[in-house]
A = this chain, B = another copy of it.
């Protein structure tokens, strides 16, 4: 740090950025990703793989397309992600009964165990994420984020290709 009176500020003013909701959301997202990787170290699932596997368990037999839409992942990218899960023995693909074009996705027994192991650590993880907030603030934030997500998903100009 400069010992002279130069213009270089070491205490940075981020006020104009913090005034924008999107910036705060993004910073929080980045920091939470960091925390996820710190806690669930190398051998485990990435946030995307974890979310996908959890969604498959909650919706056995779900199609690729429906899952991709729900998780905001493009179909080609989801295919690769699912391939990784299957290669790891955590999920299974099965041809659907009716429409022969579609594929039904299921979690496997090892997938269940992997998920349960991570979910066991999740309460402590979540608690550490919101450690800076009171319990009441955390509940409020959570509810507002869900409401915001719902609103943004169903928004008018969401002319998502």
Contact = CB atoms under 8 A, between A and B. Distances in A.
Given A4-B97, A58-B13, A146 B18 contact: yes
A21 B145 contact: yes
A34 interface: yes
A16 to B, nearest CB: 5
Nearest to A72: B30
**Contact residues of A: prevailing secondary structure:** helix
Looking at chain A, what size class is its interface with the partner chain?
35 or more
A109 interface: no
Given A9-B61, A28-B25, A61-B7, A132 B150 contact: yes
Given A8-B62, A24-B142, A28-B145, 19 more contacts: A2-B97, A2-B102, A6-B61, A6-B98, A9-B59, A12-B59, A12-B67, A13-B59, A15-B58, A17-B55, A21-B138, A22-B36, A22-B47, A22-B126, A25-B29, A27-B153, A35-B152, A132-B151, A133-B147
